[in-house]
Amino acid sequence: MRYLLGLLMVLLLWNCNNAPKNNPKTTTASIDLTNKGIGPVTHLEFDSIVDINMAERGDKIFGAKCTSCHMEESKLIGPAMKGIYERRSPEWVMNIMLNPIEMLKKDPDATALLKEYNNVLMLNQNLTMEEARAIAEYLRTL
Ligand code: HEC
């Protein structure tokens, strides 16, 4: 019995530590990690280890093409990027980068975001697949 109680405590503590961090600065829009969005990317599984070179490349492209509207940890014109994979699938993130206009028109989660962000459109930055992939890797490091 003592042993079982101890085990239960350990499990409870472990669970607390692993609970998603409640970040009030991130978006309140709907969360659906099974939604892959609409666009050219139908399957993307990240390697368990972050590819640092790719992430660094992504960081540079993000700095050039995204920071006018996005910051890492707080809202600007668009949502904060930190914790993006706690609310979106990798495919969805790729598709909103590569195909934002159609996503904002047809994807339920993107449409909800658009409403939350007062109908400000995320414009197409004309990224190549490779550039979008590098940014997706960089976003893992936030
Ligand atoms: C003109 C401003 C603007 C630019 C530039 C822009 N975005 Fe956005 N982005 C937005 C807005 C605004 C939203 C919220 C949806 C909407 O209202 O269009 C958004 C949404 C997103 C989302 C979804 C966030 C979430 O919480 O689900 C991601 C991911 C994203 N942008 C990534 C990027 C990346 C990466 C770049 C650079 C390649 C970029 N954006 C460039 C304005 C911008």
The residue whose CA has the least distance to atom 29 of ligand 1 is 93
Tell me, in angstroms, the distance from the centre of ligand 1 to residue 123's CA: 8
- % the chain with pLDDT above 70: 80
User: How far apart, in whole angstroms, are the C-alpha atoms of residue 79 and residue 51?
Assistant: 24
Kindly report the number of other CB atoms within 10 A of residue 28's CB atom: 11
Question: How many Å is the maximal CA-CA distance in the chain?
Answer: 62
The residue whose CA has the least distance to atom 34 of ligand 1 is 66
pLDDT tens-place string over residues 32-86: 899 999 999 999 999 999 999 999 999 999 999 999 999 999 999 999 999 999 9
* Predicted confidence (pLDDT) at residue 3 exceeds the cutoff of 90: no
The residue whose CA has the least distance to atom 37 of ligand 1 is 66
Tokens linked to 122: 């995320």
Tell me, in angstroms, the distance from the centre of ligand 1 to residue 13's CA: 36
The mean pLDDT of 15-38, rounded to a whole number, is: 63
Contacts of 51 (CB under 8 A, 6+ apart): 137
pLDDT tens-place string over residues 71-101: 999 999 999 999 999 999 999 999 999 999 9
Per-residue confidence at 5, pLDDT binned at 50, 70, 90? low
Is residue 79 within 8 Å of residue 68, measured between CB atoms? no
pLDDT tens-place string over residues 104-127: 999 999 999 999 999 999 999 999
Tell me, in angstroms, the distance from the centre of ligand 1 to residue 1's CA: 53
b/e code 104-119 from CB counts within 10 Å (16+ = b): beebebbeebbeebee
Contacts of 16 (CB under 8 A, 6+ apart): none
User: How far apart, in whole angstroms, are the C-alpha atoms of residue 12 and residue 86?
Assistant: 21
Tell me, in angstroms, the distance from the centre of ligand 1 to residue 57's CA: 19
**Ligand 1 interacting residues, C-beta cut-off 6 A:** 27, 62, 65-66, 68-70, 77-79, 84, 87-88, 93, 96-97, 104, 113-114, 117, 120-123, 125, 127, 135
User: How far apart, in whole angstroms, are the C-alpha atoms of residue 74 and residue 67?
Assistant: 12
Distances (CA, A) of 105 to 24, 26, 133: 26, 22, 23
Predicted local confidence at residue 28, as pLDDT: 55
